[in-house]
Amino acid sequence: MSTIDLEALRDFAVDVARRAGTMITSARSDQKSSAAEKKNSVDLVTEVDQAVEAFIIQEIKQRYPEHKFIGEETYSASGQTASILNDEPTWIVDPIDGTTNFIHGFPFVAVSIGFAIKQVPTVGVVYGPFLDYMYTGIKGQGSFLNDQKLPLNSPAPKIGGLGNCVVAVEWGSDRTEDGNLKVKSDTYFNLTRQGGGMCHSLRSLGSAALNLCAVASGSMDCYVEGGMWEWDICAGWVILTEAGGLMTTANPAEEIKEPGLCDRMILAVRGSDTADQHQIVREYWAQTAGRLVYDRK
């Protein structure tokens, strides 16, 4: 296979993301203005999700017919849970990241278009159409918000410990009493309580892609998540790491190392020196109330 022009690929993804964003904002406007609409909100967002993904697939197939494609909607429809990612150049797309936000009119909604080579996130575009935030990144070439290089404060200041952190968290879809929700909620309690982590605060944007981008920009210090899929994080992963951020696992481990794209558990820390980042990881791991479990079969 010939060498891939990553800058051209990034520019193509930006154009597609903007057009997909117009589809999303138009659908939201139609929902608000149509009093006679009989579909419920879940029906609507599923319909828009599918339409946006179909549009993105069509555009990619026309421009890059030799590339593979993994999208949330097509993957979910297949009934699979095992990873289908291999070493081939692959587009990994979430057409609407933040569907609950979309339903409720909360503007943290994103089109997430990632590109991986040999299972390594290589190009990322995350577009928030309601906010007009365009995040981009290419492995080895840095990352940007609307053409402003990330992180927004450069050089990035030291974090200096978990007590100084704004931590992004999410609750996820597993709400069973004896499942991951219990581990998450007890860990969040530990992170905030006096005598525990005493972090500065917790935030939940409702979008994995935008959480990662917020950490990349420096507006949040770290983001912990379990249960997401490769389309939730591929694009944001590039943007984070190209801004100097660190990606590791949410579960405590002997070594601080980068997880696999399909591992479904992450701890992301914003740009700083390595010792400072590792301090945050170790302090976070010390506050965990158990191990998250997300199997892929």
Whether residue 194 has pLDDT greater than 70: yes
Domain assignment of residue 77, yes or no: yes
Long-range contact list for 251-254, CB < 8 A, 24+ apart?
251/285, 251/288, 251/291, 251/292, 252/285, 252/286, 252/288, 252/291, 253/285
254-290 tens-digit pLDDT = 999 999 999 999 999 999 999 999 999 999 999 999 9
Domain final residue pick, 93, 127, 149? 149
Report residue 131: phi and psi, to 5°. Answer: -105, -10
Of the candidates 72, 73, 170, 225, the residue annotated as catalytic is 72
Which domain range does residue 130 map to? 6-149
Domain assignment of residue 1, yes or no: no
Of the candidates 24, 56, 96, 239, the residue annotated as catalytic is 96
Q: Tell me how far apart the terminal alpha carbons of the chain are, to the nearest angstrom.
A: 31
- Rg (alpha carbons) of the chain, rounded to whole number: 19
Query: Within a 10 A sphere around the Cβ of 25, how many other Cβ atoms?
Result: 15
Domain final residue pick, 127, 149, 171? 149
Domain assignment of residue 156, yes or no: no
pLDDT band at 90; cut points 50, 70, 90: very high
The string over 171-196, giving b where at least 16 C-beta atoms fall within 10 Å of a residue's C-beta and e elsewhere, is ebebeeeeebbebbeebbebbbeeee
141 and 167 assigned to the same domain? no
pLDDT band at 217; cut points 50, 70, 90: very high
Domain assignment of residue 295, yes or no: no
Question: What is the model's pTM?
Answer: 0.94
182 and 262 assigned to the same domain? yes
223 and 188 assigned to the same domain? yes
Residue 258 marked as a ligand binder: no
41 and 87 assigned to the same domain? yes
Domain assignment of residue 25, yes or no: yes
In this prediction, residue 72 carries a pLDDT of: 86
Domain final residue pick, 114, 149, 184? 149
**92 noted as active-site residue:** no
- H helix runs in 67-217, sequence order: 72-78, 99-104, 180-192, 208-217
Residue 11 marked as a ligand binder: no
Q: How many CA atoms lie within 13 Å of 155's alpha carbon, on the beta-carbon side?
A: 5
111-136 tens-digit pLDDT = 999 999 999 999 999 999 999 999 99
Q: Which two tokens stand for residue 8?
A: 């051209």
pLDDT band at 42; cut points 50, 70, 90: low
154-167 tens-digit pLDDT = 889 999 999 999 99
139 and 179 assigned to the same domain? no
In this prediction, residue 40 carries a pLDDT of: 59
Number of domains in the chain: 2
Whole-angstrom Cα distance, residue 55 to residue 92?
Answer: 14
What's the full length of the chain, in residues?
Answer: 297
Of the candidates 53, 73, 94, 221, the residue annotated as catalytic is 94
